Structure 1
Amino acid sequence: MNHLTAVIVDDEPLALKLLRSKLANIDGLEVIGEGRNGRQAIDLIMDLSPDLVFLDIEMPGLNGFDVVKNLQNDVLPLIIFTTAYEQYALDAFEIHAVDYILKPIDNERIERAVERAKERKRGGDASNNKPRLINAIHSIHQSKQNTSPHMQERSASFAGNVGDSQVEHKIVIKERDEITLLKQADIKWIDAAGDYVCLHVDGETHIKRSTMKELLDELDASLFKRIHRSTIVNLNYIEKVIPHTKGEFFLDLGEYDRIKVSRNYKEAIKAFLTER
Protein backbone atom coordinates (compact mmCIF):
# COMPACT_ATOMS: atom_id res chain seq x y z
CA MET A 1 0.00 0.00 0.00
CA ASN A 2 1.26 3.46 -0.89
CA HIS A 3 1.81 5.23 2.46
CA LEU A 4 1.51 9.02 2.78
CA THR A 5 2.50 11.29 5.64
CA ALA A 6 0.40 14.42 6.05
CA VAL A 7 0.23 17.76 7.82
CA ILE A 8 -3.09 19.56 8.35
CA VAL A 9 -3.37 23.36 8.70
CA ASP A 10 -6.46 25.41 9.54
CA ASP A 11 -6.93 28.46 11.77
CA GLU A 12 -10.30 27.19 13.04
CA PRO A 13 -9.91 24.60 15.87
CA LEU A 14 -13.21 22.88 15.07
CA ALA A 15 -12.32 22.56 11.38
CA LEU A 16 -8.93 21.13 12.35
CA LYS A 17 -10.56 18.61 14.70
CA LEU A 18 -13.12 17.55 12.09
CA LEU A 19 -10.50 17.07 9.39
CA ARG A 20 -8.27 15.09 11.76
CA SER A 21 -11.13 12.73 12.65
CA LYS A 22 -12.05 12.14 9.01
CA LEU A 23 -8.45 11.50 7.94
CA ALA A 24 -8.05 8.95 10.75
CA ASN A 25 -10.38 6.64 8.81
CA ILE A 26 -8.28 6.64 5.62
CA ASP A 27 -5.88 3.72 5.19
CA GLY A 28 -2.30 4.51 4.22
CA LEU A 29 -2.41 8.08 5.54
CA GLU A 30 -0.60 9.21 8.69
CA VAL A 31 -1.08 12.73 10.09
CA ILE A 32 2.30 13.77 11.54
CA GLY A 33 1.67 17.44 12.32
CA GLU A 34 -0.94 20.16 12.76
CA GLY A 35 -0.75 23.93 12.37
CA ARG A 36 -3.02 26.91 12.96
CA ASN A 37 -1.53 29.47 10.54
CA GLY A 38 0.63 29.93 7.47
CA ARG A 39 3.88 30.42 9.37
CA GLN A 40 3.35 27.17 11.27
CA ALA A 41 2.57 25.44 7.99
CA ILE A 42 5.93 26.49 6.53
CA ASP A 43 7.81 25.42 9.67
CA LEU A 44 6.07 22.02 9.72
CA ILE A 45 6.83 21.40 6.06
CA MET A 46 10.50 22.33 6.48
CA ASP A 47 10.91 20.27 9.68
CA LEU A 48 8.82 17.17 8.86
CA SER A 49 8.96 16.92 5.02
CA PRO A 50 5.43 15.49 4.70
CA ASP A 51 4.20 13.96 1.45
CA LEU A 52 0.94 15.88 1.63
CA VAL A 53 -0.52 19.01 3.26
CA PHE A 54 -4.20 19.77 3.78
CA LEU A 55 -4.06 23.56 3.70
CA ASP A 56 -6.77 26.09 4.50
CA ILE A 57 -6.68 29.10 2.16
CA GLU A 58 -8.28 31.86 4.19
CA MET A 59 -6.08 32.34 7.28
CA PRO A 60 -4.91 35.55 8.96
CA GLY A 61 -1.37 36.66 8.21
CA LEU A 62 0.08 34.25 5.66
CA ASN A 63 -2.82 32.58 3.86
CA GLY A 64 -2.68 29.26 2.04
CA PHE A 65 -1.57 30.85 -1.22
CA ASP A 66 1.23 32.68 0.62
CA VAL A 67 2.47 29.36 2.01
CA VAL A 68 2.79 27.95 -1.50
CA LYS A 69 4.58 31.05 -2.77
CA ASN A 70 7.04 31.03 0.15
CA LEU A 71 8.29 27.46 -0.36
CA GLN A 72 10.78 26.19 -2.92
CA ASN A 73 9.40 23.92 -5.59
CA ASP A 74 11.88 21.26 -4.47
CA VAL A 75 10.61 21.16 -0.86
CA LEU A 76 6.92 21.84 -1.53
CA PRO A 77 4.80 18.73 -0.81
CA LEU A 78 1.59 17.83 -2.55
CA ILE A 79 -1.11 20.31 -1.55
CA ILE A 80 -4.83 19.75 -1.02
CA PHE A 81 -6.58 23.05 -0.34
CA THR A 82 -9.50 23.01 2.10
CA THR A 83 -11.67 25.95 1.18
CA ALA A 84 -15.00 27.68 1.02
CA TYR A 85 -13.73 29.76 -1.92
CA GLU A 86 -15.88 31.18 -4.68
CA GLN A 87 -16.64 29.26 -7.87
CA TYR A 88 -14.11 31.19 -10.00
CA ALA A 89 -11.34 29.88 -7.75
CA LEU A 90 -12.63 26.32 -7.97
CA ASP A 91 -12.72 26.64 -11.75
CA ALA A 92 -9.05 27.66 -11.71
CA PHE A 93 -8.20 24.68 -9.51
CA GLU A 94 -9.95 22.33 -11.93
CA ILE A 95 -8.24 23.82 -14.99
CA HIS A 96 -4.76 23.51 -13.47
CA ALA A 97 -5.36 20.12 -11.78
CA VAL A 98 -5.07 21.51 -8.25
CA ASP A 99 -6.71 19.36 -5.59
CA TYR A 100 -9.18 20.87 -3.14
CA ILE A 101 -11.84 19.86 -0.62
CA LEU A 102 -14.83 22.17 -0.45
CA LYS A 103 -16.08 23.09 3.01
CA PRO A 104 -18.19 21.69 4.63
CA ILE A 105 -15.86 18.71 4.31
CA ASP A 106 -17.19 15.66 2.50
CA ASN A 107 -15.84 12.14 3.13
CA GLU A 108 -16.02 11.09 -0.50
CA ARG A 109 -14.13 14.19 -1.66
CA ILE A 110 -11.38 13.58 0.91
CA GLU A 111 -10.92 9.98 -0.17
CA ARG A 112 -10.81 10.98 -3.83
CA ALA A 113 -8.22 13.73 -3.19
CA VAL A 114 -6.02 11.40 -1.12
CA GLU A 115 -6.17 8.71 -3.78
CA ARG A 116 -5.12 11.22 -6.42
CA ALA A 117 -2.22 12.30 -4.18
CA LYS A 118 -1.11 8.64 -3.93
CA GLU A 119 -1.23 8.34 -7.71
CA ARG A 120 0.84 11.50 -8.13
CA LYS A 121 3.42 10.26 -5.64
CA ARG A 122 3.67 6.90 -7.42
CA GLY A 123 4.01 8.62 -10.80
CA GLY A 124 6.59 11.17 -9.65
CA ASP A 125 4.21 14.03 -10.51
CA ALA A 126 4.90 15.80 -7.20
CA SER A 127 8.04 17.43 -8.63
CA ASN A 128 5.84 19.56 -10.92
CA ASN A 129 3.64 20.69 -8.05
CA LYS A 130 4.46 24.38 -7.66
CA PRO A 131 4.07 25.42 -11.33
CA ARG A 132 0.56 23.95 -11.31
CA LEU A 133 -0.32 25.78 -8.08
CA ILE A 134 1.18 29.12 -9.16
CA ASN A 135 -0.71 28.98 -12.46
CA ALA A 136 -3.96 28.48 -10.54
CA ILE A 137 -3.18 31.28 -8.08
CA HIS A 138 -2.30 33.64 -10.94
CA SER A 139 -5.59 32.80 -12.69
CA ILE A 140 -7.56 33.46 -9.51
CA HIS A 141 -5.90 36.83 -8.99
CA GLN A 142 -6.65 37.79 -12.57
CA SER A 143 -10.30 36.78 -12.18
CA LYS A 144 -10.68 38.87 -9.02
CA GLN A 145 -9.30 42.00 -10.65
CA ASN A 146 -11.84 44.34 -12.23
CA THR A 147 -9.38 46.66 -13.91
CA SER A 148 -10.76 49.24 -16.31
CA PRO A 149 -9.44 49.27 -19.92
CA HIS A 150 -8.06 52.76 -19.25
CA MET A 151 -6.03 51.54 -16.28
CA GLN A 152 -4.74 48.53 -18.24
CA GLU A 153 -3.70 50.80 -21.11
CA ARG A 154 -1.97 53.24 -18.75
CA SER A 155 -0.05 50.43 -17.00
CA ALA A 156 1.02 48.89 -20.29
CA SER A 157 2.16 52.28 -21.58
CA PHE A 158 4.17 52.95 -18.42
CA ALA A 159 5.88 49.56 -18.64
CA GLY A 160 6.76 50.11 -22.26
CA ASN A 161 8.19 53.59 -21.69
CA VAL A 162 10.44 53.01 -18.70
CA GLY A 163 13.96 53.69 -19.94
CA ASP A 164 16.95 51.44 -19.31
CA SER A 165 18.54 54.02 -17.03
CA GLN A 166 15.46 54.03 -14.81
CA VAL A 167 15.31 50.27 -14.29
CA GLU A 168 19.04 49.67 -13.87
CA HIS A 169 19.54 47.15 -11.05
CA LYS A 170 15.76 46.81 -10.73
CA ILE A 171 13.29 44.12 -11.74
CA VAL A 172 9.95 45.17 -13.25
CA ILE A 173 6.93 43.36 -11.86
CA LYS A 174 3.51 43.76 -13.53
CA GLU A 175 0.81 42.69 -11.08
CA ARG A 176 -2.75 43.37 -12.22
CA ASP A 177 -3.08 47.17 -12.56
CA GLU A 178 0.22 47.96 -10.80
CA ILE A 179 3.85 47.99 -11.84
CA THR A 180 6.48 47.57 -9.14
CA LEU A 181 10.19 48.21 -9.56
CA LEU A 182 12.14 45.95 -7.22
CA LYS A 183 15.68 46.85 -6.27
CA GLN A 184 17.82 43.81 -6.87
CA ALA A 185 19.64 44.36 -3.56
CA ASP A 186 16.29 43.94 -1.73
CA ILE A 187 15.49 40.53 -3.23
CA LYS A 188 16.35 37.73 -0.79
CA TRP A 189 15.76 34.72 -3.02
CA ILE A 190 13.95 33.60 -6.14
CA ASP A 191 12.46 30.33 -7.22
CA ALA A 192 11.00 29.14 -10.50
CA ALA A 193 7.50 27.74 -11.00
CA GLY A 194 6.97 26.80 -14.62
CA ASP A 195 6.42 29.96 -16.67
CA TYR A 196 6.71 32.15 -13.55
CA VAL A 197 9.30 33.11 -10.97
CA CYS A 198 8.60 34.04 -7.34
CA LEU A 199 10.71 36.90 -5.95
CA HIS A 200 10.86 37.13 -2.16
CA VAL A 201 11.30 40.66 -0.78
CA ASP A 202 10.72 41.91 2.79
CA GLY A 203 8.24 39.18 3.67
CA GLU A 204 6.30 39.55 0.41
CA THR A 205 6.34 37.36 -2.67
CA HIS A 206 6.03 38.91 -6.13
CA ILE A 207 5.16 36.74 -9.13
CA LYS A 208 6.72 37.57 -12.49
CA ARG A 209 6.14 35.82 -15.80
CA SER A 210 9.67 34.82 -16.75
CA THR A 211 11.95 31.81 -17.11
CA MET A 212 14.85 31.28 -14.74
CA LYS A 213 17.33 31.81 -17.57
CA GLU A 214 15.75 35.13 -18.61
CA LEU A 215 15.84 36.39 -15.03
CA LEU A 216 19.44 35.31 -14.50
CA ASP A 217 20.40 37.47 -17.47
CA GLU A 218 18.90 40.49 -15.66
CA LEU A 219 20.42 39.84 -12.23
CA ASP A 220 23.72 41.12 -10.86
CA ALA A 221 25.99 38.05 -10.95
CA SER A 222 28.04 39.39 -8.05
CA LEU A 223 24.95 39.28 -5.79
CA PHE A 224 23.01 36.25 -6.97
CA LYS A 225 23.97 32.59 -7.24
CA ARG A 226 21.97 29.59 -8.34
CA ILE A 227 21.75 27.01 -5.54
CA HIS A 228 19.20 24.61 -7.00
CA ARG A 229 17.81 23.95 -10.45
CA SER A 230 14.87 26.19 -9.54
CA THR A 231 16.33 28.51 -6.87
CA ILE A 232 18.55 31.62 -6.80
CA VAL A 233 19.82 33.28 -3.61
CA ASN A 234 21.08 36.78 -2.82
CA LEU A 235 24.42 36.04 -1.14
CA ASN A 236 24.19 39.11 1.09
CA TYR A 237 21.23 37.62 2.99
CA ILE A 238 22.88 34.36 4.05
CA GLU A 239 23.04 34.32 7.85
CA LYS A 240 23.56 30.64 8.63
CA VAL A 241 24.53 27.43 6.80
CA ILE A 242 22.98 24.22 8.18
CA PRO A 243 24.15 20.73 7.01
CA HIS A 244 21.44 18.46 5.64
CA THR A 245 21.36 14.93 4.25
CA LYS A 246 23.18 13.54 1.17
CA GLY A 247 25.61 16.44 0.86
CA GLU A 248 22.88 19.07 0.76
CA PHE A 249 22.43 21.90 3.23
CA PHE A 250 20.04 24.69 4.15
CA LEU A 251 20.63 28.43 4.13
CA ASP A 252 18.94 30.63 6.73
CA LEU A 253 18.09 34.07 5.31
CA GLY A 254 16.86 35.76 8.46
CA GLU A 255 14.19 34.59 10.86
CA TYR A 256 11.66 33.19 8.42
CA ASP A 257 13.40 32.18 5.18
CA ARG A 258 15.19 28.85 4.90
CA ILE A 259 16.07 27.36 1.52
CA LYS A 260 17.80 24.17 0.41
CA VAL A 261 21.07 23.98 -1.56
CA SER A 262 21.39 20.92 -3.80
CA ARG A 263 24.60 18.93 -4.18
CA ASN A 264 24.99 20.08 -7.79
CA TYR A 265 25.23 23.74 -6.78
CA LYS A 266 26.90 23.61 -3.35
CA GLU A 267 30.36 24.51 -4.71
CA ALA A 268 29.16 28.02 -5.56
CA ILE A 269 28.15 28.62 -1.94
CA LYS A 270 31.33 27.00 -0.59
CA ALA A 271 33.43 29.31 -2.76
CA PHE A 272 31.48 32.32 -1.49
CA LEU A 273 31.96 31.30 2.15
CA THR A 274 35.68 30.67 1.62
CA GLU A 275 36.13 34.16 0.22
CA ARG A 276 34.62 35.74 3.34
Structure 2
Amino acid sequence: MDHRVMKTLIVDDEPIARRVLREELETVPAVIIVGEAENGKQALQQIAALRPDLVLLDLQMPVMGGFEVVRKLGGGHLPVVVIVTAFDQHAIEAFEAGAVDYLLKPVGEKQLRRAVERARKLSESPSAVADEVARIASVETRKIVGRNGEEYVLLDPDEILAFQAEGELVWIVTAKQRFLATQSLRVIENHLKEQQFRRVHRNAIVNVNHVRKMSALSSQRWLVTLSNALQVVVSKRQAHNIRNVLRW
Protein backbone atom coordinates (compact mmCIF):
# COMPACT_ATOMS: atom_id res chain seq x y z
CA MET A 1 0.00 0.00 0.00
CA ASP A 2 1.38 3.40 -0.98
CA HIS A 3 1.61 6.05 1.72
CA ARG A 4 1.94 9.77 1.25
CA VAL A 5 5.36 10.77 2.56
CA MET A 6 5.03 12.97 5.63
CA LYS A 7 7.81 15.51 6.08
CA THR A 8 7.97 15.86 9.85
CA LEU A 9 9.39 18.47 12.23
CA ILE A 10 10.04 17.60 15.88
CA VAL A 11 9.69 20.48 18.36
CA ASP A 12 10.71 19.94 22.00
CA ASP A 13 13.09 21.70 24.36
CA GLU A 14 14.27 18.38 25.83
CA PRO A 15 17.04 16.65 23.79
CA ILE A 16 16.09 13.23 25.15
CA ALA A 17 12.45 13.70 24.17
CA ARG A 18 13.50 14.71 20.64
CA ARG A 19 15.77 11.68 20.38
CA VAL A 20 13.01 9.29 21.49
CA LEU A 21 10.58 10.71 18.94
CA ARG A 22 13.22 10.62 16.22
CA GLU A 23 14.07 6.96 16.88
CA GLU A 24 10.42 5.93 16.94
CA LEU A 25 9.54 7.93 13.82
CA GLU A 26 12.31 6.15 11.94
CA THR A 27 10.27 2.95 12.24
CA VAL A 28 7.09 4.50 10.80
CA PRO A 29 6.60 4.00 7.03
CA ALA A 30 6.74 7.02 4.71
CA VAL A 31 7.96 9.53 7.30
CA ILE A 32 10.94 11.80 6.70
CA ILE A 33 12.29 13.87 9.58
CA VAL A 34 13.21 17.19 7.99
CA GLY A 35 14.29 19.00 11.14
CA GLU A 36 14.19 19.57 14.88
CA ALA A 37 13.61 22.68 16.99
CA GLU A 38 14.20 23.26 20.69
CA ASN A 39 11.89 26.24 21.19
CA GLY A 40 8.93 28.00 19.62
CA LYS A 41 10.95 30.64 17.82
CA GLN A 42 13.05 28.02 16.05
CA ALA A 43 9.89 26.07 15.26
CA LEU A 44 8.33 28.99 13.39
CA GLN A 45 11.53 29.57 11.44
CA GLN A 46 11.78 25.92 10.43
CA ILE A 47 8.10 25.62 9.56
CA ALA A 48 8.51 28.54 7.16
CA ALA A 49 11.78 27.23 5.70
CA LEU A 50 11.14 23.48 5.58
CA ARG A 51 7.35 23.44 5.03
CA PRO A 52 6.76 20.18 6.92
CA ASP A 53 3.53 18.23 6.53
CA LEU A 54 3.49 17.30 10.21
CA VAL A 55 4.75 19.02 13.36
CA LEU A 56 5.07 17.11 16.63
CA LEU A 57 4.81 20.02 19.03
CA ASP A 58 5.62 20.17 22.73
CA LEU A 59 3.67 22.78 24.71
CA GLN A 60 5.89 23.77 27.63
CA MET A 61 8.98 25.37 26.11
CA PRO A 62 11.16 28.41 26.78
CA VAL A 63 11.10 31.51 24.54
CA MET A 64 7.73 30.59 23.06
CA GLY A 65 5.30 27.83 24.05
CA GLY A 66 3.49 25.45 21.74
CA PHE A 67 0.14 27.22 21.78
CA GLU A 68 1.79 30.52 20.85
CA VAL A 69 3.54 28.79 17.95
CA VAL A 70 0.19 27.62 16.60
CA ARG A 71 -1.36 31.07 17.02
CA LYS A 72 1.50 32.64 15.06
CA LEU A 73 1.25 30.31 12.07
CA GLY A 74 -1.17 32.79 10.54
CA GLY A 75 -1.59 32.70 6.79
CA GLY A 76 1.69 30.98 6.04
CA HIS A 77 2.31 27.28 5.55
CA LEU A 78 -0.05 25.26 7.76
CA PRO A 79 1.16 21.79 8.75
CA VAL A 80 -0.85 19.24 10.66
CA VAL A 81 -0.09 19.75 14.36
CA VAL A 82 0.03 16.92 16.88
CA ILE A 83 0.40 18.02 20.48
CA VAL A 84 3.04 16.20 22.54
CA THR A 85 2.98 16.90 26.27
CA ALA A 86 3.78 15.55 29.71
CA PHE A 87 0.90 17.56 31.18
CA ASP A 88 -2.53 15.94 31.21
CA GLN A 89 -4.50 19.20 31.28
CA HIS A 90 -2.96 20.32 28.00
CA ALA A 91 -3.76 16.99 26.39
CA ILE A 92 -7.37 17.41 27.43
CA GLU A 93 -7.46 20.96 26.07
CA ALA A 94 -5.96 19.88 22.77
CA PHE A 95 -8.39 16.98 22.47
CA GLU A 96 -11.43 19.15 23.22
CA ALA A 97 -10.23 21.73 20.71
CA GLY A 98 -10.35 19.15 17.94
CA ALA A 99 -6.65 18.40 17.57
CA VAL A 100 -5.88 15.56 15.17
CA ASP A 101 -4.38 13.71 18.12
CA TYR A 102 -2.31 14.23 21.22
CA LEU A 103 0.54 12.22 22.66
CA LEU A 104 1.40 11.95 26.34
CA LYS A 105 5.04 11.51 27.28
CA PRO A 106 6.57 9.00 27.30
CA VAL A 107 5.26 8.42 23.79
CA GLY A 108 4.57 4.81 22.85
CA GLU A 109 5.25 3.45 19.36
CA LYS A 110 1.64 2.37 18.83
CA GLN A 111 0.27 5.79 19.79
CA LEU A 112 2.80 7.55 17.56
CA ARG A 113 1.96 5.40 14.54
CA ARG A 114 -1.74 6.07 15.07
CA ALA A 115 -1.15 9.82 15.30
CA VAL A 116 0.93 9.85 12.11
CA GLU A 117 -1.69 7.92 10.16
CA ARG A 118 -4.48 10.22 11.29
CA ALA A 119 -2.34 13.22 10.39
CA ARG A 120 -1.61 11.70 6.99
CA LYS A 121 -5.32 11.47 6.23
CA LEU A 122 -6.01 14.99 7.48
CA SER A 123 -3.19 16.46 5.39
CA GLU A 124 -5.11 15.54 2.25
CA SER A 125 -7.54 18.39 3.00
CA PRO A 126 -5.90 21.84 3.43
CA SER A 127 -9.19 23.33 4.66
CA ALA A 128 -9.44 20.67 7.37
CA VAL A 129 -5.87 21.43 8.45
CA ALA A 130 -6.65 25.16 8.62
CA ASP A 131 -9.77 24.53 10.70
CA GLU A 132 -7.81 22.36 13.09
CA VAL A 133 -5.01 24.92 13.49
CA ALA A 134 -7.59 27.61 14.27
CA ARG A 135 -9.20 25.44 16.93
CA ILE A 136 -5.90 24.59 18.58
CA ALA A 137 -4.86 28.26 18.51
CA SER A 138 -7.95 29.26 20.45
CA VAL A 139 -7.58 26.71 23.24
CA GLU A 140 -5.15 28.40 25.58
CA THR A 141 -6.89 31.75 25.73
CA ARG A 142 -10.39 30.34 26.04
CA LYS A 143 -10.31 27.46 28.45
CA ILE A 144 -8.95 26.46 31.84
CA VAL A 145 -9.11 22.83 32.89
CA GLY A 146 -10.61 22.01 36.27
CA ARG A 147 -11.23 18.66 37.89
CA ASN A 148 -14.49 17.68 39.56
CA GLY A 149 -14.11 14.17 40.94
CA GLU A 150 -13.14 11.99 37.99
CA GLU A 151 -14.42 14.51 35.44
CA TYR A 152 -12.40 17.23 33.72
CA VAL A 153 -14.23 20.46 32.97
CA LEU A 154 -13.26 23.23 30.55
CA LEU A 155 -13.86 26.64 32.12
CA ASP A 156 -13.99 30.05 30.48
CA PRO A 157 -11.54 32.47 32.16
CA ASP A 158 -14.34 35.02 32.60
CA GLU A 159 -16.28 32.66 34.90
CA ILE A 160 -13.29 32.08 37.18
CA LEU A 161 -13.18 34.39 40.20
CA ALA A 162 -9.98 33.20 41.82
CA PHE A 163 -7.36 30.49 42.28
CA GLN A 164 -6.54 29.56 45.88
CA ALA A 165 -3.78 27.29 47.15
CA GLU A 166 -4.43 25.08 50.17
CA GLY A 167 -1.32 23.10 50.96
CA GLU A 168 -0.38 21.20 47.81
CA LEU A 169 -3.82 21.65 46.24
CA VAL A 170 -4.94 24.57 44.10
CA TRP A 171 -8.65 25.34 43.82
CA ILE A 172 -10.42 27.14 40.98
CA VAL A 173 -13.22 29.28 42.40
CA THR A 174 -16.29 30.07 40.29
CA ALA A 175 -19.55 31.71 41.32
CA LYS A 176 -21.23 28.33 41.86
CA GLN A 177 -18.53 25.87 42.92
CA ARG A 178 -14.85 25.01 43.23
CA PHE A 179 -12.80 22.79 40.94
CA LEU A 180 -9.40 21.24 41.58
CA ALA A 181 -6.72 22.75 39.36
CA THR A 182 -4.21 20.58 37.54
CA GLN A 183 -1.40 23.15 37.74
CA SER A 184 0.51 25.04 40.41
CA LEU A 185 -0.24 28.71 41.11
CA ARG A 186 3.06 29.67 39.49
CA VAL A 187 2.19 27.86 36.26
CA ILE A 188 -1.34 29.30 36.30
CA GLU A 189 0.02 32.81 36.83
CA ASN A 190 2.34 32.48 33.82
CA HIS A 191 -0.43 30.89 31.78
CA LEU A 192 -2.79 33.83 32.42
CA LYS A 193 -0.34 36.70 32.67
CA GLU A 194 -1.77 38.55 29.66
CA GLN A 195 -5.35 38.26 30.90
CA GLN A 196 -7.35 39.74 33.78
CA PHE A 197 -5.77 37.69 36.56
CA ARG A 198 -3.36 39.07 39.16
CA ARG A 199 -1.46 37.51 42.05
CA VAL A 200 -2.61 39.09 45.33
CA HIS A 201 -0.89 36.77 47.78
CA ARG A 202 1.49 33.82 47.64
CA ASN A 203 -1.60 31.63 48.04
CA ALA A 204 -4.04 33.41 45.73
CA ILE A 205 -4.70 34.82 42.26
CA VAL A 206 -7.87 36.82 41.58
CA ASN A 207 -9.80 37.89 38.50
CA VAL A 208 -9.70 41.69 38.80
CA ASN A 209 -12.94 41.95 36.84
CA HIS A 210 -14.70 40.26 39.76
CA VAL A 211 -13.31 42.52 42.50
CA ARG A 212 -16.16 44.48 44.09
CA LYS A 213 -14.52 46.03 47.14
CA MET A 214 -11.06 46.67 48.56
CA SER A 215 -10.71 47.37 52.27
CA ALA A 216 -7.69 48.26 54.40
CA LEU A 217 -6.76 45.74 57.08
CA SER A 218 -3.79 47.84 58.14
CA SER A 219 -1.61 50.54 56.62
CA GLN A 220 0.03 47.95 54.38
CA ARG A 221 -2.41 45.04 54.00
CA TRP A 222 -5.73 44.95 52.19
CA LEU A 223 -8.76 42.71 51.75
CA VAL A 224 -10.53 42.32 48.40
CA THR A 225 -14.13 41.15 48.17
CA LEU A 226 -15.13 39.33 45.00
CA SER A 227 -18.49 39.16 43.24
CA ASN A 228 -19.48 36.00 45.14
CA ALA A 229 -18.65 37.69 48.49
CA LEU A 230 -15.41 35.70 48.84
CA GLN A 231 -12.79 37.73 50.69
CA VAL A 232 -9.10 37.37 49.86
CA VAL A 233 -6.17 38.96 51.68
CA VAL A 234 -3.80 41.09 49.60
CA SER A 235 -0.21 40.90 50.81
CA LYS A 236 1.91 43.94 51.53
CA ARG A 237 4.08 43.07 48.52
CA GLN A 238 1.13 42.96 46.09
CA ALA A 239 -1.09 45.75 47.49
CA HIS A 240 0.43 48.57 45.44
CA ASN A 241 0.24 46.60 42.18
CA ILE A 242 -3.38 45.60 42.75
CA ARG A 243 -4.43 49.15 43.58
CA ASN A 244 -2.77 50.35 40.38
CA VAL A 245 -4.54 47.69 38.29
CA LEU A 246 -7.89 48.54 39.86
CA ARG A 247 -7.10 52.26 39.79
CA TRP A 248 -8.23 52.60 43.41
Q: Which TM-score bucket, shorter chain as reference?
A: 0.5 to 0.7
Show the counterpart of 2:129.
126
Contact persistence 2:91–2:103 (CA under 8 A): no
CA drift of 1:126 comes to 1.3
CA drift of 1:141 comes to 4.0
Rg (Cα) greater in structure: 2
What amino acid is aligned across from residue 53 of structure 1 in structure 2?
A: V
Structure 1: which 5+ runs fail to align?
Answer: 154-172, 180-276
**TM score, norm. by length of structure 1:** 0.51
What amino acid is aligned across from residue 132 of structure 1 in structure 2?
A: R
Change (3 A) 1:27 1:66: same
Change (3 A) 1:76 1:141: farther
CA deviation map 1:47-98 (0-9, x unaligned): 1111111111111121111111222144231111110113x43222222221
Show the counterpart of 1:253.
none
- Paired with 2:107 and 2:27, the residues of 1 have a C-alpha distance of 14
Contact persistence 2:81–2:133 (CA under 8 A): no
CA deviation map 1:199-251 (0-9, x unaligned): xxxxxxxxxxxxxxxxxxxxxxxxxxxxxxxxxxxxxxxxxxxxxxxxxxxxx
Show the counterpart of 2:13.
11
Q: Greater helix percent: which structure?
A: 1
- Paired with 1:28 and 1:70, the residues of 2 have a C-alpha distance of 28
Structure 1 residue 43 corresponds to structure 2 residue 57: no
- Paired with 1:178 and 1:95, the residues of 2 have a C-alpha distance of 27
Contact persistence 2:98–2:132 (CA under 8 A): no
Contact persistence 1:3–1:28 (CA under 8 A): yes
Contact persistence 2:28–2:113 (CA under 8 A): yes
Change (3 A) 1:74 1:42: closer
The alignment partner of 2:47 has SS state of helix
Change (3 A) 1:73 1:116: farther
Show the counterpart of 1:55.
57
Matched-pair identity in %: 30
Aligned CA RMSD, in angstroms, stands at 2.8
Show the counterpart of 1:91.
92
Contact persistence 1:5–1:51 (CA under 8 A): yes
Structure 2: which 5+ runs fail to align?
Answer: 146-154, 164-172, 176-193, 198-206, 210-248
The count of corresponding residues between Structure 1 and Structure 2 is 158
Contact persistence 1:68–1:76 (CA under 8 A): no
CA deviation map 1:24-49 (0-9, x unaligned): 01111111011111111011001111
**TM score, norm. by length of structure 2:** 0.56
Contact persistence 2:85–2:91 (CA under 8 A): no
What amino acid is aligned across from residue 137 of structure 2 in structure 1?
A: I
Show the counterpart of 1:224.
none
What amino acid is aligned across from residue 120 of structure 1 in structure 2?
A: L
